[in-house]
């Protein structure tokens, strides 16, 4: 019966990480615009946030596929090396998002499709969102395994 919950845990961690990535990307973009003397209002921020979240279906699917692959690889690794779930899936989420972001730049000949990842700090912040999603996934698994 437990295995019926696993897809829901994957979806929960995907929604959490995807939403955080979109929010952080928006904030990094708005900070950059502010540094270029653009006037950013709270209304513009919330309108942009709602627009990004509602139009981010393709991005959420990409994050879902990324987590699916990363978490399956982690489950196989954990079969041979007994690592705490929270740590293993946190690392899988971090490196899964990191690799996904780097692969998008390689596929599109060096163009950063997610503007927030142009800097090292932005790439690190977005990858930390993956770490948080992996931690939540491992935490949910720990709480539901008897």
Q: 40-65 as b/e, with b when 16 or more CB fall inside 10 Å?
A: eeeeeeeeebeebbeebeebbeebbe
Q: Chain-wide mean pLDDT for the chain?
A: 89
Sign of the CA dihedral with 21 first, then 23, 25, and 28 last: negative
Q: How many domains does the chain have?
A: 1
pLDDT digits (tens, 9 = 90+) for 39-84: 888 898 899 999 988 888 988 999 999 999 999 999 999 999 989 9
Is residue 145 a contact partner of residue 3, using CB atoms and an 8 Å limit?
Answer: no
Question: Residue 113 belongs to what domain range?
Answer: 2-144
SS3 22: helix
The pLDDT of residue 130 is: 96
Closest CA to 64 of 113, 114, 15: 15
Assess whether pLDDT exceeds 70 at residue 2. no
d(CA 93, CA 99): 10
d(CA 144, CA 121): 35
CB atoms within 10 A of CB 123: 19
d(CA 118, CA 9): 30
Angle between helices 85-107 and 57-80 (to 10 degrees): 130
Angle between helices 42-54 and 6-35 (to 10 degrees): 140
The pLDDT of residue 146 is: 57
Q: What is the pLDDT confidence band of residue 111, given thresholds at 50, 70 and 90? A: low
């Amino acid at each position: 019966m437990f295995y019926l919950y696993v897809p829901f845990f994957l979806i929960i961690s995907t929604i959490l990480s995807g939403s955080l990535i979109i929010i952080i990307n928006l904030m990094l973009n708005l900070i950059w615009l502010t540094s270029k003397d653009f006037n950013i209002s709270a209304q513009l921020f919330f309108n942009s946030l709602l627009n990004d979240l509602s139009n981010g279906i393709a991005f959420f699917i990409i994050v879902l596929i990324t987590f699916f692959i990363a978490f399956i690889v982690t489950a196989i690794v954990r079969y041979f090396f007994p690592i705490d779930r929270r740590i293993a899936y946190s690392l899988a989420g971090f490196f899964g998002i990191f690799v996904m972001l780097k692969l998008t730049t390689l596929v599109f000949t060096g163009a950063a499709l997610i503007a927030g990842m142009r800097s090292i700090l932005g790439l690190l912040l977005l990858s930390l969102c993956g770490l948080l999603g992996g931690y939540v996934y491992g935490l949910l698994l720990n709480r539901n395994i008897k």
